[in-house]
Structure 1
Amino acid sequence: MVSLTCTFGLLSSAASLTSAALLPKSANPFLTPYASQDPSRNTSSAALDQSVATQRYFHSRRVKKGEIERPWTKVKDPKEKWVTIIPLIGMLVGFIIAGYMVWDGLSTVVNHKYCPVYMSDFPNSGLESDIWTKEAEVGGFGNGQFEETTVTTENVFIQDGMLHIKPTLQDASLIEKNSVINLQVDGICTSSLWTNCITGTNTTNGTIANPVKSGRINTKKGASIKYGRIEVEAKLPAGDWLWPAIWLLPVKKVYGEWPESGEIDIVESRGNNYTYPQGGNNIVSSSLHWGPDSVNDAWWRTNVKRNALHTTFGKKFHTFGLEWSEKYLFTYIDTRLLQVLYTTFTKGGLWERGHFPEANSNGTKYVDPWSQTGRPSTPFDQDFYLIMNVAVGGTNGWFQDDKNGKPWVDESPDPRKDFWNARNNWYPTWNQSGEMVVKSVKMWQQEGYNGCP
């Protein structure tokens, strides 16, 4: 309908004025105007009410479009159009930039072809002896670590199709009494340094043998890559002062001793819980180690951390990956899209990037061992092999002093002994998940290198 007519108990404005003048002062304008509803009223009053009843009450109707003038629409502001044009221009520019970024990203991605080098989901038959080496040493691998790495199935074993690297307590008899651990005599020491093969307890001077045992294994014997990809599906350990790592070292020290020839850390973490200030098993990090000597290791320039959202890396399995080429190197978790460390090998090389001093503290001038190759990726341009281990403690600062009840001080006379004496506090935290569990290891060689056509 074009219009609506509503009759209410109110008079229209014109009728109200007229009726109000006719009604006596005593009359109630809100009473019904129909005389038949009140027979006690006199004739004149009824007649008056009847006349009022014939008046039109409040009348409402829908106004047709165009009946009311809108003069403000006839005046145009010349600047008003820019209120629409400017946002449209901004949107267009945004789409152009986004499109260019997508195009640039896709055009620069190199989808390398690979040859499989090693693929294993660890059958219960055991580690392949032609691929893996169980390391046996007591030296702490240069970090003052507390573990003795063993070749026994106590610390490295396969169970239910998964590899386990599990730290355990040292034999108490080797700690509490004078003793000697000589891995050279046993013929199992895998280090060329005698200090990494011999240790013991001396009750006179208060030093003790390594307070714990653990495992470290590597593929140096049978699987290495020069550029390529690696994926390790693993669950990291949870337990105080544990130090799990999945990393790579060069097969040959082409450019000199560590870190001149480089080190690639795919992932390392701490077993402490999330309250640990430096980050517990809720945080992992990836890094590269490179420099003219250990004092000038530039790892801090290529180190990135990744936090596990609302969980820890000891709760479930994750794929820890590395993609490495002559132009870039990056690590990732679960998918190549979730990158941790990303490093490009740019013109000028790592020597220029490191900004190293001209000489060491003795005044000996540093010589650039890398730029002479003409490859920006040097020293990360050689064959590297995979290492997996669970270290314990250490005196290199990985666990800072005076944090979360750390039971030893790095510079104390015998931090190993301090650690052993506090075993009733830290060892129970290893009971549930104090081991690294590995489902699979996959290694690929990039096409064009090491016999990969």
Structure 2
Amino acid sequence: MDNDGYYSRPAAGMPSVASTAAATPQRPGTPSDGRNPFGDGLESQASHRSSGGLGVTSTGAANPFSSPSASRPASSFDSASGLGRFDGAGGQRYFHSRRVHKGEVEKPWTKSVDPKEKWVTILPLIGIGIGLAISGFLVWDGIRSVVKHQYCPVMEETWANGLDDKVWMKEVQVNGFGNGEFEQTTGGDQNVFIENGHLIIKATPQDDALMQKDTKIDLLKDGTCTSKSPASCIAYTNITAGNASIVPPVLSGRINTRRGATIKYGRIEVTAKLPVGDWLWPAIWMMPVDDTYGPWPQSGEIDIVESRGNNYTYPQGGNNIVSSALHWGPSPANDAWWRTNVKRQALHTTYAAGFNTYGLEWSQKYLFTYVNSRLLQVLYVNFDSPMWQRGNFPPQDSNGTRLEDVWGKTKRAQTPFDQPFYLILNLAVGGTNGWFEDNVNGKPWLDASPNARKDFWQAKDRWFPTWTQPQMEISKIVMLRQCDGNEDQ
């Protein structure tokens, strides 16, 4: 055993530590007695390590070839140096610091707790409790303040008895409802029919023969036209005179509930699957029963949902996007629809992949549309200020005509949306009103061109193959009217 209490007994066949140390040459400037030249009191440790093989030579120099202390077996440490104990026969080992003396280690767990420390826990708990109480009150107050309306049934349509002509009317026209659309709406069962318990509104190409020769479609003459305007009931194909006009290149359907189901404030839900096909234009919307405040858009229009049959690559949004809008203004050139127009994109799917419920809730104080749930709102309009003020319309039209507030006389902020409206379902095709933007995604016509219909028809080989689902399918409609005694406000 050396002076530090380490066993220096050599293993069999191995030279003693002393002989090894004696054979080790000293570095210049290193004391021969193993003392630390830096004077930091670690001489015994250096001596200890040299004798214990801890990576330091007898001269105190670090041995770069030795293993670090952490990797050595604990049996190599000894209590005599304060680093451990080894009894020479594999006895119990323990660690004891030479730096920290007994009695100097702090033991905070033995001290008495300061009474003030409990507030470190109590105060945060009080804050959390107050926050929860305030949140609960705000939720309760919000629910309490929501206006709850009473509704009475107007119509619940599941098509079990077919298309009830006391409620529904098929519109038969050729003018595309003023939007320059390319369809002729029919009154038979070709484009509007019941199939498997669902209402189908389907678009089909017009007879090509009507495009190749002089043709006249006169719905006034055969008595089927649902309009009194010749422009809505008569169409021509004029080949011999070199005229570019043709009859509508597509047949489709448009139906409404003006005969038997209207509401002034209430709720509507239409469960439908939208079409697939370029330049198809499905719509679920409402128009006023009477033009109380003047011609469109003075008396308003409510678009619950509109979409396009194009796929998701269409920049304005294909059948992966639906939009809702209100149309209102003193003239067509001053329609403020862009102030009340919102889109909603489908999540990882399209609105043509399955059925969705498109809803409207409408009252004296607000109007909003939604998809599938009243929580998934699309458009929300709060009637908290008069619509004329909200429109910020100019004092006169572009032609110098003075624009007057035709709604102010009612003294109601929701005017013109304060009168009975009826529901319309239709599948339009194309159009020249800007719904399909010029020069986008290969659009084959220009809105301002007199040949728009003809250009569209001549591109049939491009758009018709995309019509893999050229129909809007409706499974259910629910219409409720507000009946809590406030509907006259």
Shorter-chain TM-score tier? 0.7 to 0.9
How far does residue 90 in structure 1 lie from its aligned partner after superposition? 7.2
Paired position in structure 2 for 1:181: 217
Gaps of 5+ in 1: 1-13, 32-50
| CA–CA separation in structure 2 for the residues paired with 1:363 and 1:341 | 33
Paired position in structure 2 for 1:69: 106
How far does residue 71 in structure 1 lie from its aligned partner after superposition? 7.9
1:413 is aligned to 2:450? yes
| CA–CA separation in structure 1 for the residues paired with 2:366 and 2:2 | 90
Q: Where do residues 35-434 of structure 1 align in structure 2 (5 Å cutoff)?
A: 53=88, 58-60=93-95, 68-69=105-106, 95=132, 98-123=135-160, 125-203=161-239, 204-346=242-384, 348-430=385-467, 432-434=468-470
Q: Contact 1:148–1:210 (CA<8 Å) still a contact in 2?
A: yes
Cα 1:59–1:98 shift into 2, 3 Å: same
Cα 1:265–1:451 shift into 2, 3 Å: closer
| Greater Cα radius of gyration, structure 1 or 2 | 2
How far does residue 292 in structure 1 lie from its aligned partner after superposition? 0.3
Paired position in structure 2 for 1:18: 5
| CA–CA separation in structure 2 for the residues paired with 1:54 and 1:336 | 82
Q: Contact 2:203–2:471 (CA<8 Å) still a contact in 1?
A: yes
Q: Equivalent of 2:472, from 436, 442, 448?
A: 436
| CA–CA separation in structure 2 for the residues paired with 1:253 and 1:309 | 39
| CA–CA separation in structure 1 for the residues paired with 2:475 and 2:3 | 92
Superposed CA deviations along residues 157-189 of structure 1, whole A, max 9, x for unmatched, are 001111000000011111111100111001111
TM-score (norm 2): 0.77
Paired position in structure 1 for 2:39: none
| CA–CA separation in structure 1 for the residues paired with 2:298 and 2:431 | 22
| CA–CA separation in structure 1 for the residues paired with 2:135 and 2:90 | 70
Superposed CA deviations along residues 251-300 of structure 1, whole A, max 9, x for unmatched, are 00000000000000000000000110000000000111000011111111
Structure 1 range deviating more: 268-277 or 89-98: 89-98
Cα 1:287–1:55 shift into 2, 3 Å: closer
How far does residue 93 in structure 1 lie from its aligned partner after superposition? 6.8
How far does residue 19 in structure 1 lie from its aligned partner after superposition? 3.0
Secondary structure of 1:244's aligned partner: strand
Q: Contact 2:8–2:16 (CA<8 Å) still a contact in 1?
A: no
Q: CA RMSD in A?
A: 3.2
Structure 1 range deviating more: 420-429 or 98-107: 98-107
How far does residue 26 in structure 1 lie from its aligned partner after superposition? 2.2
Gaps of 5+ in 2: 18-50, 54-85, 97-102
Superposed CA deviations along residues 328-377 of structure 1, whole A, max 9, x for unmatched, are 1111111111111111111x310011100011112221111112111111
Cα 1:383–1:52 shift into 2, 3 Å: closer
Q: How many pairs are equivalent?
A: 411
| CA–CA separation in structure 1 for the residues paired with 2:319 and 2:311 | 6
Cα 1:451–1:129 shift into 2, 3 Å: farther
Cα 1:282–1:53 shift into 2, 3 Å: same
Paired position in structure 1 for 2:82: none
Q: Contact 2:183–2:428 (CA<8 Å) still a contact in 1?
A: yes
Q: Contact 2:265–2:487 (CA<8 Å) still a contact in 1?
A: no
Q: Could you tell me which amino acid in structure 1 is paired with residue 261 of structure 2?
A: A
Secondary structure of 1:191's aligned partner: coil
How far does residue 424 in structure 1 lie from its aligned partner after superposition? 1.0
Secondary structure of 2:220's aligned partner: helix
Secondary structure of 2:4's aligned partner: helix
Superposed CA deviations along residues 305-343 of structure 1, whole A, max 9, x for unmatched, are 111000000010011111111111111111111111111
How far does residue 86 in structure 1 lie from its aligned partner after superposition? 9.1
| CA–CA separation in structure 2 for the residues paired with 1:242 and 1:372 | 40
Secondary structure of 1:321's aligned partner: strand
TM-score (norm 1): 0.83
Higher-RCO chain (CA-CA 8 Å, sequence separation at least 6): 1
| CA–CA separation in structure 2 for the residues paired with 1:16 and 1:336 | 89
| CA–CA separation in structure 2 for the residues paired with 1:89 and 1:250 | 57
| CA–CA separation in structure 1 for the residues paired with 2:296 and 2:110 | 80
| CA–CA separation in structure 2 for the residues paired with 1:337 and 1:309 | 15
Q: Contact 2:192–2:253 (CA<8 Å) still a contact in 1?
A: yes
Superposed CA deviations along residues 198-254 of structure 1, whole A, max 9, x for unmatched, are 111011212111110100000001110000111111101111000000000000000
How far does residue 81 in structure 1 lie from its aligned partner after superposition? 10
How far does residue 21 in structure 1 lie from its aligned partner after superposition? 5.9
Q: Could you tell me which amino acid in structure 2 is paired with residue 291 of structure 1?
A: G
How far does residue 85 in structure 1 lie from its aligned partner after superposition? 8.9
